[in-house]
Amino acid sequence: MDVFVAGGCSYNAMVYLDEFPRETETHSARNFQETVGSTGAGKTLNLGRLGMDVTFHATIGQDRYGEIIEETFAAEPATFLHDVDPNGTERHVNLMNADGERISIFVVESTPDLDIDYDRLDDLVETSDAFVVNPVDYTRPLLATAERADTPVWCDVHDYDGEDPHFEAFVEAADYLFLSEEGIDDARGFMREQVDAGTELVVCTRGADGSTALTSDGTWVELPAEPFEMVDTNGAGDAYVSGFLYGHAQGEDVETCLRLGTLAGGLAVESWELAHPDLSADRLAIEYERHYGDAE
């Protein structure tokens, strides 16, 4: 399966604390790293390591952070394409506490209206088996391309609250929609609304409570979480979507895809990276047997 991922790449400073600061005094971090980040990068790293044929497009600056991003993907089993953002590479400072909660501070934001070479992006959307679109402004025109080409749209709206107008076009365009329960009051009601409106599948991740899917025929599928040692929660959601998409590409049923997403997300949590350094199709199969072998 050819997968095209569009949007969502940054270079981040990760600051790990026991707890978030409550006072304006000096605090010591328990760990720190700088790394490639954001949702498109996370999905691409996971999909590539799982053996998917993946192309990723993002915007980066003509700066040393953009060079690091290019070097990172040159060493990965993925094709990386980019357009230049004159504002520089998007950068975040992420504060992480011991519970895996995050405060993200955008210190360099991407330019809203960019000069993008849409012709080559349209070609990629049209020729891909799956279009993984991330809800950033420059990817909006590609939604119409996917509709014309009848390319299945996969979209992760993260902690969408069900009302933010920024996400509306992406939610409406998605054939396969993913979200977190964290941001929405009535996740099941929202999921029903989307399936009634024609969405093929909606998946809601629920943290320690597992995940839930609703299919186009109205079937609910529930899956509990699996135990993993938490090192860093960054990238877990993107790894989950990638594991699910990997299973879908293999022709697996929804429950199996939920399991594969759970395992890929769990492996990401056990590493400092957006994708576990040892992630592969073989490693995922081993984890599947270890966690679910008795249930088969």
68: its two tokens:
């690091």
Tally Cβ neighbours within 10 Å of residue 227.
Answer: 8
Query: DSSP strand E in the chain: where?
Result: 2-6, 10-16, 31-37, 53-60, 79-84, 91-96, 102-108, 130-133, 153-156, 176-180, 201-205, 211-215, 220-223
Contacts of residue 93, Cβ cutoff 8 Å, sequence gap at least 6: 12, 13, 15, 104, 105, 107
Q: What is the largest CA-CA distance in the chain?
A: 56
Tally Cβ neighbours within 10 Å of residue 174.
Answer: 28
- Please, what is the angle between helix 236-249 and helix 281-292, to 10°? 90
pLDDT mean for each 10 residues of the chain (296 residues): 96 92 87 92 97 97 96 97 96 90 90 90 97 96 97 95 93 97 92 97 92 97 90 88 97 97 94 91 96 77
DSSP state of 294: G
Position 296 scores a pLDDT of: 58
Where do the domains of the chain lie, and which CATH numbers do they carry? Answer: 2-20+30-295 (3.40.1190.20)
Distance separating alpha carbons of residues 51 and 53, to the nearest angstrom:
7
**pTM to 2 decimal places:** 0.93
Contact present, 247 and 261 (Cβ < 8 Å):
yes
- Identify the three-state secondary structure at position 158: coil
| AA identity, residue 100 | G
Of 262, 264, 287, nearest in space to 207 by CA: 262
Distance separating alpha carbons of residues 138 and 90, to the nearest angstrom:
14
Position 149 scores a pLDDT of: 97
